[in-house]
Amino acid sequence: MSEKTLEEYVNCSFHLAMNTLEGKWKFAILYVLLDKGTLRFKELERAIPDISTRMLVKELKHLVEKKIVHRKAYATVPPTVEYSLSEIGQSLRPVIDSISNWGKYYAEKVNA
């Protein structure tokens, strides 16, 4: 299979969404920010068990680049940075809620 171009992804909304949100940690980051609101980097890191600092930095950069997460840096020593969901990120609430509800349903069926 050949790599899709940006134009091909734009013409297929499902592939565009999956390409934007792919990976193990993005939904965990989105879930925490939806649940807790604006967080500093270390607060976010503590809220997501098992994520490495390097991976959190990488995933946050991607989400900021895609305009899903807003990054606000303050000119303090040491630097203070806060992360929150942008308007686009907030629009993922029904998706995250649906995935959470499906997870509950799945757990009930598997454990029954």
**Amino acid identity, residue 1?**
M
As to burial, measured by CB atoms within 10 angstroms (0-12 exposed, 13-18 middle, 19+ buried), residue 35 is exposed
Domains of the chain: 6-111 (1.10.10.10)
Query: 8, 59 in Cβ contact below 8 A?
Result: no
Convert the pLDDT of each residue in 2-20 to its tens digit: 666 666 656 788 888 888 8
Q: What's this model's pTM, rounded to 2 decimal places?
A: 0.84
Convert the pLDDT of each residue in 25-69 to its tens digit: 999 999 999 999 999 999 999 999 999 999 999 999 999 999 999
As to burial, measured by CB atoms within 10 angstroms (0-12 exposed, 13-18 middle, 19+ buried), residue 20 is middle
